[in-house]
Structure formats: structure tokens, C-alpha cells
Structure 1
Amino acid sequence: MSEDPSTGADTDEVTLGRIETEVALLMRFGEATRRRTGAEHRVLDRAAYVILRHLADAGPQNISALATRLNLDGSTVTRQVSAMQRDGLIVREPDPRDGRGMVVSPTPAGLQRMAAVQAARTRLYGDILAGWAPEDRDTLAEMLRRLNEALEHRPRP
């Protein structure tokens, strides 16, 4: 470990403190931006958007698989999925691998609303990052992917 000569602080600790602050601000600004943007961003709540994105990428999933992927309690995912089913965003069907279980799939309406939110968010980030060089945007995308992967695979206490 090296030490910052101007402060005497461990540089790794300082860097980790900066990361913590920037992630906290990112979460705060992200939520504030979502609330202040147009209606197309709000046609889905955050939980429904994330579930639909995952189902669109991974295909039908059971509640347990969704909970594991999203690092949430099964009862939380069950409540979210029930609300999404009432809103016509997903359907529950018998699991083709195990007829005793159920899997969740997006409906065409759910996929359409997810795509609208995704397009609106993509435009928003395009505007926000318009002044960035393409290679800087690529680097940001890769670093965020790596951070999310590390967060996903962090052992649960």
C-alpha cells in the first residue's frame, strides 16, 4: 500500500472512498433524473423494468431464478411479479422442464413498454454523454459492466 505524501492517507483507501462517493452520487442523480424526465421513462417502475430486461435476455424464469439473478428475496420478487401480472406485463405458465413449477415470461405489452423505456434512457444517456469521446463511453460501459458483475457475484452474508 502506498501513502499519499500530502495527506498521509493510504492511497487505496482514498481511492475506495472516492468510488463510494461517486457510486452514491450516481444512484442519487440517476433516480432524480428518472423522476424529472418525460413520461416514457415512467411507464414502468424500476423493478418491473429490470425484471423485464432480464426476462427479455434470459427467457422464461422461475421466481427463484429471478430472485437469485436480481439478488433479492423470493417474497419480494413474488410481490413484484404479481403486480406485473395484474398490469399485463408478464404471464405465469407451467415450467416446461417441471410441470409442477411455474415460469414467468414477458407479454408483448410488457416488452413494448420495456423497449420504450430503454429507448428513452438510451436517448437520455446519448444527450448526457454527447461531449464524450466514443472510446471514453466504451470505457465507461465496460467499467460499469465489471462493477455490476462484481456486485452480482459478491458473496451474501
Structure 2
Amino acid sequence: MVTSEAPASLDVDTALGDLQTHLNLIFARTRTLWKESAARIDPELQVGGYKLLTFIERAETANAHELAERFEMDKSVISRQVRMLEDLGLIESRPDERDGRLRVLTATPSARAVLAELRRDHATRLRTVVAELTQDEIHAASKVFRLLSEV
């Protein structure tokens, strides 16, 4: 005997499969956007360095240990990326006042300016994409992404 729950379950499974497919496309698009954004800052800037730079800028300060934990990267990778960011004039490093073994990293004014420009461009693109959605639909989408980010 087929219950009324079977078709509903299939509908949910189909919807979840569709959601998963679109999430994969979003992740792929995000990687492309990171690559494009890094290149706009400097052709030598790698995606990993771009992600570290945006984190440092948003956090206002960070250290290599925090970055390694946050991004689950080996400290040697963080060191190379930090060195590149310094060489490109995108971050500054100074001794930590509380622990002299650590270096406090901050984004330079020029890095903050170019990141602000990128954010404006990204916001404009996002506004264009979601222009056909209602405010309630945007809130619902935001809720889904918040829930997914907590998994």
C-alpha cells in the first residue's frame, strides 16, 4: 500500500537534490569570483591570500595562528601567504603588545580601499540578481543560508 507520505517524501528529496545542485553551482561561482577578485587586487595574489586579506580586513587585526585555525591551513602556507600580502603592500605586521612572539596583521589603507570597491561591485551584482525577489523572499533565502552555515 502506498501512503500519502511517499509522494511528499519524493517531492522533498527532489527539492533537496535541486538545492544541492544549485549550492554546488554557487560554490563553483564563488571560487571563480574569489579568483577574479584576487586578480583585480594584484595579478600575483592567490585565492588563499585574497581570503586571508578579506578576513584580516573585516576582523581589523589577526595573527598567523588565528588564520591557520580559521582557515584550517598549515602554518607554513599561512606564512607564505602573509609574506606575499606584505610584499604586495596589502597588510602590515607589527609585534603583539601582549605576546611578543606573535605578529599582529592589519590591512593597509590601500587594501581597505580596493576591498571596499570590490564589495560595492559585488553588492551591485547581487542586487541585480535578486531584483526580481520580494523582501520576504530575500529574507527566506538568507535564513536558508544562515541555517546551512551552521551545519
TM-score grouping bracket, smaller chain normalisation? 0.7 to 0.9
Cα distance in 2 for residues equivalent to 1:88 and 1:42: 14
Tell me, yes or no, if the aligned pair for 1:41 and 1:120 is still in contact at 8 Å: no
User: Where do residues 10-89 of structure 1 align in structure 2 (5 Å cutoff)?
Assistant: 17-32=17-32, 34=33, 42-43=40-41, 46-89=47-90
Go from structure 1 to structure 2 and tell me whether the alpha carbon gap of 1:43 and 1:57 turns closer, same or farther (over 3 Å shift): closer
Alignment RMSD (CA, Å): 3.2
Cα distance in 2 for residues equivalent to 1:64 and 1:48: 15
Cα distance in 2 for residues equivalent to 1:70 and 1:91: 20
Greater shift after overlay, 132-141 or 103-112?
Answer: 132-141
Specify every segment of 5 or more residues in structure 2 that has no aligned partner in the other structure, as ranges: none
Tell me, yes or no, if the aligned pair for 1:43 and 1:113 is still in contact at 8 Å: yes
Cα distance in 2 for residues equivalent to 1:25 and 1:14: 17
Runs of 4+ in 1 over 6 A off after TM superposition: none
Amino acid at match of 1:26: I
When normalised by structure 1's length, the TM-score is 0.72
* Structure of higher CA gyration radius: 2
Tell me, yes or no, if the aligned pair for 1:49 and 1:114 is still in contact at 8 Å: no
Cα distance in 1 for residues equivalent to 2:131 and 2:49: 28
Cα distance in 2 for residues equivalent to 1:97 and 1:149: 32
Superimposed CA distance per residue, residues 50-87 of structure 1 (whole angstroms, 9 cap, x where no aligned partner): 32332233232111101212233322222222111111
Shift of 1:15: 5.6
Shift of 1:26: 1.0
Shift of 1:41: 7.8
Specify every segment of 5 or more residues in structure 1 that has no aligned partner in the other structure, as ranges: 151-157
Cα distance in 1 for residues equivalent to 2:5 and 2:47: 40
Cα distance in 1 for residues equivalent to 2:16 and 2:138: 22
Bigger helix share: 2
Cα distance in 1 for residues equivalent to 2:79 and 2:16: 35
Tell me, yes or no, if the aligned pair for 2:63 and 2:104 is still in contact at 8 Å: yes
Tell me, yes or no, if the aligned pair for 2:38 and 2:50 is still in contact at 8 Å: no
